[in-house]
Structure 1
Amino acid sequence: MTRSRAGIDAIAGRAVALDEENRIVASHRGLPGTEPSRLLDALITEGDAGTVDRVVAILPEPVPAEVRRVGVLRIGGATALPPLAGWPERMSGTGPVAMVRGGHEYDGTESAPLDLDAVAEFARQCAGTVRAVAVSGVHGLENPDHEQRAAAVLADVLGPDMPVLTGGETEAIGLLERENTAVLDAALAESARARIDELGAAVRKHYPDAELYLVRGDGAVLSELDAQRHATACLGAGRAALLHGAARLAGVPAAVVADANDGRTVVGTTYGGLLPESGAHREFGGVRIGSRLPRLTVVDRERSFAAAVARARYGYDELPVVLVGTQSADLPGGSVIRLPDGDLAAAVGAAAAEAAGSVDRIFWQGAGGGEDSVARARQLARDAAVRAGADPRTLRETPVKEALMTYVPVPAARLRAIAVGPLLEPVAP
């Protein structure tokens, strides 16, 4: 029997099944906003999807709301801006907020012992009043020990079922971005778990051994359990999957993709399974979080289209242009690829999505110098990709980006490394 992977686009109401060669073997076109479990049921009922061993879904994005019943704990950083500084008023209401002694220096050494008594007191304040807790420590990326010890105390007091999100789980250098991400993930954890559990039940009803993944905002995948804890990582998933999927439908490894709908066109680039970043941080409800936005250009006139394509091609001059969207026929012709099944692009991008891992942090260069730091950054990125589900035998790596840090007292550099590759295929029974 044919083995396939299903992609569910709950935003557009589309579902596809791809075979091992990434060819569409079944599809379903439903209404936008259809429940993902219903899309999966329809795909399996109406088409010959074969045996599905993986389902990758794009879920509707959560709506910004007040952050209620979330405890916020900051470890160290008493001289920094307090937690939730700069948040919109409508989102700033939380449960208990505390700052306790502890944290680390820039090189990962302890700056002050963790005040476990204060952590326990905070936990008691949270008992019976919160539905999740966010914990962030100063320089938690360099050394997550205090975050992990505080999380253990919280689990002892509040119970193992209480979601505790730590800032160190987010690959973002800034304390506030890590903290904001942890708080929002904590606030969304309950609803994310409910939505994903419902889809997971539908998947296992048909295929008990199938794996479930969600699409991240960069088009890569997030495991079922990780997606329940990191809802903000899936912001922008629909756009990212569309870019990757359009290139796959066109049969090219990289492309400039133009999506024309509702009087505007969004132009972006997919290259080697990655989306070039704009450098700007993503926001959710006016709150800046740790993930970054892809480089996109939005135009509302045809005469601006050529300039947007030129910008998207920057550094990749020979990329083909792929057109999708309900108004793609209105875009200028010439050397472009028009897709007859362009409305399935995001679902295809989901079904064929790969796993990725990245590292973006400051490395303190010791006796081994810069070469050791680069090697460590590459290994951390590879390890993260494998944890995300990538096959270690087929990983691809981007060149390590390096920026020297001249304002710290020891030799240091900010390094960015990314590894990406196909998901490890399950062993055939």
Structure 2
Amino acid sequence: MSIYRIGIDVGGTHTDAVLLDQNNTVLSETKSPTTEDVATGIYNAMHQIITQANVPRKEIKYAMLGTTHCTNAIVERKRLNKVAAIRIGAPATLSVKPLIGVPEDLREVLGKHVYLVRGGHEFDGREIVPLDEDHIYQIAEEIKGKVDSIAITSVFSPVSKSHEERASEILREVLGDHIPLSLSSEIGSVGLLERENATILNASVVNVAKTAADGFINALKSEGIDAKVFFGQNDGTLMSIEYTVKYPIFTVACGPTNSLRGASYLSELTDAIVVDVGGTTSDVGVLVQSFPRESSLAVEIGGARTNFRMPDLVSIGLGGGTVIRTKADGEFTIGPDSVGYKLQEKSLVFGGDILTATDVAVALGKVEIGDSAKVAHLDKDLLNRMYTKMVSLVEEAIDKMKTSADPVPVILVGGGSVLLPEQLEGASEVIRPEHSGVANAIGSAISQVSGQIEKIYSLDEIGREKALEHAKLQAKTEAINAGAAEESLVIVDVEDVPLAYMPGNATRIRVKAAGDLAQFEIKELV
């Protein structure tokens, strides 16, 4: 019996879908307009690829989804959980309240139940003061029935997470096992405010993740498919539904990372720059050993600074639907707004009345889309200047992502990549692989499952060798929990940064392990 897998990636303009066989050969692909409710677009795309391929539905055993559900919910301030934010850090952190610096409209939604509790640790692991357990019990009684998700952040929990874990035990004792708890030690890095923000945001989108997961499973069932479902996460790997609902924040920015993974697979390159041109933006990222390079900077999500892992990306407001406006003096502006998923209604080549980047490329004969006669009247000199500016925007973004002046391979993917030329400044070669238009969906379908651990160790106590060994074991355990097959696990990244300002010869170790999907269904069939 053959084993097939579905990969779907939801973008702002299109929902891309592919169906692969067990050799990862593309059997069918589609770009379907993203719908306002997202779920309809997912179902439409999935129905199209299954109908095209005409494979037995009972042999489709895996389904992977890269989704913008959680990102959109945070940005739009909609469908968020009622969150209780508990910081364990009094009296040391009383001067800086939780959610400080977060936009007021987001703080109004997430800051209704904020608590400061005595406890926390110093940077060397010593207790500031013992955890005030009575206060935790009091909070648990107070929030009963008022919140449906809890974020717990303790000072220096990446060094010692004992207070967070004890607080979670008390909350479960009082409130039961059904209420989701987000612990900052499992989500963010060192840096209290950013880690706290990331944890609160994670707690806020648990219901959104559950709804997305249920919707995807129901869409599969409506097609008669009983598949194991995985979600894309922002390091270019997959996670199980259980893991997704626990750590939904890790789905943020999974679209560009899926594109990077798909680009690596399609081009057979492990190290390159990838330009993913969509309908609204172009995302430029870097492949390092087939995985996206990670950002070392704090990243804002919906206006809130966070410090959990995110891909290192430069996004520019240039896509197939980018609006181009001309001025009376012959000058013009490119974007940053886009007609998005309404490209086939609004763009000139489709009978609309808005000049887009697609119209410029069609008018200059760079690509054949829509009706070129509808843009034949446009001034060629002006169009050439527009196109030159479009290309230079991409070249500048590529230059920002390079670590040296040397030319590097550039892989073009995404539906809008057809707008770009075969040569780009700073590129040793420009590669546009087959199926590049749905690289994001392919990246979702072929991705491995990973686990990552980031922890501070005192080398005086444990020694470097044992610290690394412990971190690698923890990372592998995380990967297995996320759905990876134990026998296929490999360590794909190790970072060891000495912390000179901390006593005990301290070092921060970050390890990522990745492996193939655990073959649950195949075992059942044998």
Q: TM-score, normalised by structure 1?
A: 0.90
Report the structure number with the largest CA radius of gyration. 2
Find the counterpart in structure 1 of residue 61 from structure 2.
53
Distance across 2 between alignment mates of 1:252 and 1:297: 20
- State the distance in 2 between where 1:415 and 1:252 align: 28
Take 1:245 and 1:318, find their aligned partners in 2: how far apart are those partners?
22
1:247 corresponds to which residue?
264
What is aligned with 1:9? 9
Question: 1:185–1:371: structure 2 CA closer, same or farther, 3 Å change rule?
Answer: same
Q: Which residue of 2 aligns with 1:95?
A: 112
Does the CA contact (< 8 Å) of 2:102 and 2:304 recur in 1?
yes
C-alpha spacing 1:99/1:268, structure 2 compared with 1 (3 Å): same
Q: 2:480 aligns with which of 380, 386, 397?
A: 386
Instruction: Give the conservation status (yes or no) of the 8 Å contact 2:297–2:307.
Output: no
Does residue 43 of structure 1 match 2:49?
A: yes
Kindly state the Cα deviation for residue 90 of structure 1 after the two structures are TM-superposed.
Answer: 0.7
The more displaced of 118-127 and 64-73 is: 64-73
Partner of 1:29: 31
2:425 aligned with 1:412, yes or no? no
Show structure 1 runs of 5+ residues with no match. none
Aligned match of 1:366:
460
Counterpart position of 1:184? 201
- 1:321 pairs with 402, 405, 410, which one? 410
TM-aligned CA deviation for residue 147 of structure 1? 1.8
2:250 aligned partner, one-letter code: A
Q: Which residue of 1 aligns with 2:379?
A: none
Pick from 46, 62, 70 the counterpart of residue 72 of structure 2: 62
Query: What is the TM-score normalised by the length of structure 2?
Result: 0.74
Structure 1 partner of 2:426: none
Higher helix share: 2
Mapping 1:33-182, distance limit 5 Å: 33=35, 34-35=38-39, 36-50=42-56, 51-60=59-68, 61-64=71-74, 65=77, 69-80=82-93, 81-93=96-108, 94-182=111-199
Deviates most, 110-119 or 202-211: 202-211
Q: Kindly provide the amino acid, as one letter, of the partner of residue 389 in structure 1.
A: G
SS at match of 1:28: strand
State the alpha-carbon separation in 1 of the partners of residues 155 and 303 from structure 2.
Answer: 23
Distance in 2, matches of 1:160 and 1:249, equals 44
Residues 57-92 of structure 1 show CA distances to partners (whole Å, capped at 9, x for unaligned) of: 012232331767311111124322221122111111
Tell me the secondary structure at the aligned position of residue 157 of structure 1.
helix
Deviation at 1:149, TM superposition (A): 2.4
| Structure-to-structure mapping, 1:240-279, within 5 angstroms | 240-261=257-278, 265-279=282-296
1:19 to 21, 46, 58: 21
* Deviation of 1:305 (Å): 4.4
Residues 82 and 147 of structure 2 are in contact (CA less than 8 Å); yes or no, is this contact kept in structure 1? yes
SS of residue in 2 equivalent to 1:362 = strand
Q: Is the 8 A contact 1:281 1:289 kept in 2?
A: yes
Q: CA 1:68/1:260 → structure 2, altered by over 3 Å: closer, same or farther? A: closer
Give the C-alpha shift of residue 365 in structure 1. 0.9
Relative distance call for 1:84 and 1:263 in structure 2 (3 A) is: closer
Query: Greater shift after overlay, 296-305 or 58-67?
Result: 296-305
Question: Which of 420, 424, 430 is the equivalent residue of 1:336?
Answer: 430
* Partner SS state of residue 372, structure 1: helix
Secondary structure of the corresponding residue to residue 156 of structure 1? helix
Q: Aligned equivalents of 2:405 and 2:230: distance in 1?
A: 30
Q: Once superposed, what is the RMSD of the aligned Cα atoms?
A: 2.7
Whole-angstrom distance in 1 between the partners of 2:473 and 2:188 = 15
Q: Alignment partner of 1:291: what SS?
A: coil
Change (3 A) 1:45 1:333: closer
How much does 1:166 deviate? 1.7
- From 218, 225, 245, the equivalent of 2:235 is 218
CA distance in 2, matches of 1:92, 1:297: 27
* Contact 1:26–1:49 (8 Å) recurs in 2: no
- Greater Cα shift, 51-60 or 103-112: 103-112
Q: CA deviation at 1:396?
A: 3.1
- Answer whether contact 1:70 1:134 (CA < 8 A) is retained: yes
* C-alpha spacing 1:9/1:176, structure 2 compared with 1 (3 Å): same
Amino acid at match of 1:40: M
Partner Cα separation in structure 2 for residue 411 and residue 122 of structure 1? 38
1:287 maps to which of 301, 304, 311: 304
SS at 2:153 equivalent: strand
CA offset at residue 317 of structure 1? Answer: 6.5
Provide the C-alpha distance between the structure 1 equivalents of 2:417 and 2:43, rounded to a whole number of angstroms: 30
Amino acid at match of 1:324: V
Identical-pair percentage: 29
How many pairs does the alignment contain? 429
1:367 to partner: Cα distance: 4.7
Pairwise CA distance, 1:307: 5.4
SS in 1 for 2:295: strand
Cα distance in 2 for partners of 1:232, 1:68 equals 13
| Counterparts of 2:280 and 2:200, CA distance in 1 | 36
Verify the 8 A CA contact 1:203 1:212 in the aligned structure 2: no
Q: Which of 239, 255, 258 is equivalent to 1:238?
A: 255
